[in-house]
Every structure is written in structure tokens, then in C-alpha cells.
């Protein structure tokens, strides 16, 4: 049986040949999970040998990563806002920049406790659930048109003990939302079709296309979302939408057309890229 050090060396070279980013880190994470340990333990026990079942599992996972399957799909979960979310090919893997939506939502709820909240295009449910876990008691509606995504989101809500506070509704955008709301959060598809082929293989070949691609300008979902929003957003309400880094000006114009009297702004992420639209009507 190989030692930990031998398998790390072999696995790192295997992933490097397949152009996997951060090959050694990925190898160590997968091996640690196969051993039900953490990476620190690996470093302290390089000469320990793997059992046959552990080696087989680690090699199977490395083969999947070598085919550029996302690490988090192999592990079955990813961290978002300090919480662990189940993920698989039915949902996008949560990104750190999407935490901006949760920050904005929590800031609004501190000013408006008891506000009625809806999360559009909920996917894994990470935004709605992180909000429910960290906000004062209150109900959150979460909408997605994909049944598979809603199944994952419900699992995550149960995992974090907010299954009774987050209501999941099947449907497209505003369709299933019953009446006006105070706070809207959305991470819709916004990748331009011409850019889709240039995405990393982990994203292009494995994550759900319907949660990523949104037409020639990437606004096929954001456009109707904003156009219909005035029918649903109460006076004094707020809407926060994640956007693509090159969409700031176009989204700003759409928002100003829909909400000519509101405070409308584009916010940058930690990399200084346009990442979130805010619309505040009060």
C-alpha cells in the first residue's frame, strides 16, 4: 500500500498533467477527506500507509478531479457565509462574492426587522438560508424554476435548522411570489452566450448551464426581473442583484428605467469589479 507522501506526490503530478489549478492543494483535500482527516494530519503522518479502500476512494476522486469536475461536487459541499452547503450538479457552487447579497440583506433587516423577504433564483438556497440563520426571526421566500435545485435547497434548509422559516416556491422569477415584499435578493444567470465557451472547464462542463448563461448580453433574466420588480417591491423596500463585472452601466440604466425615483447604485466586490446592483425605494 502507498504511503500518504507517495500518494500526494503521485496525485499532485496527475492533476498537474491535467492542468488542474492548485493541484497539490486539491490532492491533499481529497486525500484528507478519503481518510476522514484534515490536511494538517496528512502533513504530520507522511509515512502512514493507506488501507486498500481508502486508496481506491482517493484515486477515484482524483480521477474525477482530473476530468475537471469541481472539487466541491466531489466533496458534496462548499462553505458559504460560514455555513456548509450541500452541492451537486443541480446547483451552482456558492461563490464568495455572492456573500455581498447576504451582507446587504442583513443590513436592511437590521433597519427593518420583520420585513418580508424573497430570494429569486435561489439555487442551493445559500443566500436565503444564510439570511435566515443570521437575521432576526422572520419568514423568507425562496424561488427557483428548477425542481432539482429546490430539492437541494430544501436539504440545506433542514441541515441548518431553518426549514420552517424558509418557504421554497417553484416557478420563474416573480411568478410564484404572492403579493408585495420588502426585500428582494437575486443571483440570476448573467453570463453572455459568447463568453460561455471561455469559462473554466469546471464551470462550463459541470455546473448547470441554465443557472449561468443568459443570452447575448447576459441580461435575459435580469431584464424582466427589473422590469417587473415595481409591481412587487413595496415603498421603502430594497432590491439587491448580483451582476457580471461588465454589466454595471447597462444594469444601472435598466434599474433607473424601472425605478426612476429610487436610489440606484452599482457596488464593487473585493477585486474592485462591478458585482451588485442596489435599488432602494425608501
pLDDT tens per residue across span 150-188? 999 999 999 999 999 999 999 999 999 998 999 999 999
Q: How far apart are CA 88 and CA 77, in angstroms?
A: 8
Q: What is the pLDDT of residue 138?
A: 78
Q: How far is CA 160 from CA 37, 87, 144, 260, in A?
A: 23, 14, 19, 39
**CB–CB of 130/83 below 8 Å?**
yes
Dig out the grid coordinates for 109 from the structure: 433587516
pLDDT tens per residue across span 68-113? 999 999 999 999 999 999 999 999 999 999 999 999 999 999 999 8
Domain 89-280: CATH superfamily is Vaccinia Virus protein VP39 (3.40.50.150)
Q: Where are the beta strands (DSSP E) in the chain?
A: 77-80, 83-86, 117-120, 140-144, 166-170, 181-186, 233-242, 263-268, 274-280
**CB–CB of 132/112 below 8 Å?**
no
Q: What is the pLDDT of residue 122?
A: 97
pLDDT tens per residue across span 188-240? 999 999 999 999 999 999 999 999 999 999 999 999 999 999 999 999 999 99
Q: What is the pLDDT of residue 91?
A: 98
Question: Does the pTM of the predicted model rise above 0.85?
Answer: yes
**CB–CB of 49/6 below 8 Å?**
no
**pLDDT above 80 (res 282):** no
Q: How far apart are CA 189 and CA 210, in angstroms?
A: 7
Q: How far apart are CA 105 and CA 103, in angstroms?
A: 5
**pLDDT above 80 (res 3):** yes
What element of type H or E holds 13? Answer: helix 4-17
pLDDT tens per residue across span 136-147? 777 899 999 999
Q: What is the pLDDT of residue 179?
A: 83
**CB–CB of 234/181 below 8 Å?**
yes
Amino acid at each position: 500500500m502507498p504511503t500518504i507522501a507517495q500518494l500526494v506526490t503521485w496525485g499532485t503530478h496527475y492533476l498537474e498533467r491535467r492542468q488542474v489549478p492548485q493541484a497539490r492543494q486539491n490532492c491533499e483535500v481529497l486525500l484528507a477527506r478519503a481518510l476522514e482527516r484534515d490536511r494538517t494530519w496528512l502533513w504530520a503522518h507522511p509515512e502512514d500507509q493507506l488501507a486498500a479502500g481508502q486508496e481506491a476512494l482517493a484515486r477515484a476522486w482524483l480521477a474525477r478531479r482530473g476530468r475537471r469536475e469541481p472539487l466541491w461536487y466531489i466533496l458534496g459541499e462548499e462553505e458559504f457565509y460560514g455555513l456548509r452547503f450541500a452541492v451537486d450538479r443541480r446547483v451552482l457552487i456558492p461563490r464568495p462574492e455572492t456573500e455581498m447579497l447576504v451582507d446587504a440583506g442583513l443590513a436592511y433587516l437590521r433597519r427593518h426587522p420583520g420585513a418580508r423577504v424573497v430570494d429569486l433564483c435561489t439555487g442551493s438556497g445559500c443566500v436565503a438560508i444564510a439570511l435566515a440563520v443570521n437575521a432576526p426571526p422572520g419568514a423568507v421566500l425562496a424561488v427557483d424554476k428548477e425542481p432539482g435545485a429546490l430539492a437541494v435547497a430544501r436539504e440545506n434548509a433542514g441541515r441548518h435548522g431553518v426549514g420552517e422559516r424558509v418557504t421554497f416556491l417553484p416557478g420563474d422569477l416573480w411568478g410564484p411570489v404572492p403579493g408585495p415584499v420588502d426585500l428582494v435578493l437575486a443571483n440570476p444567470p448573467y453570463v453572455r452566450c459568447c463568453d460561455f465557451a471561455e469559462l473554466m472547464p469546471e464551470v462550463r462542463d459541470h455546473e448547470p448551464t441554465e443557472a449561468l448563461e443568459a443570452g447575448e448580453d447576459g441580461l435575459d433574466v435580469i431584464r424582466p426581473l427589473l422590469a417587473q420588480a415595481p409591481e412587487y417591491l413595496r415603498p421603502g423596500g430594497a432590491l439587491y442583484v448580483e451582476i457580471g463585472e461588465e454589466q454595471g452601466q447597462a444594469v444601472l440604466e435598466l434599474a433607473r428605467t424601472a425605478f426612476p425615483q429610487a436610489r440606484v447604485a452599482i457596488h464593487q466586490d473585493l477585486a474592485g469589479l462591478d458585482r451588485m446592483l442596489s435599488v432602494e425605494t425608501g
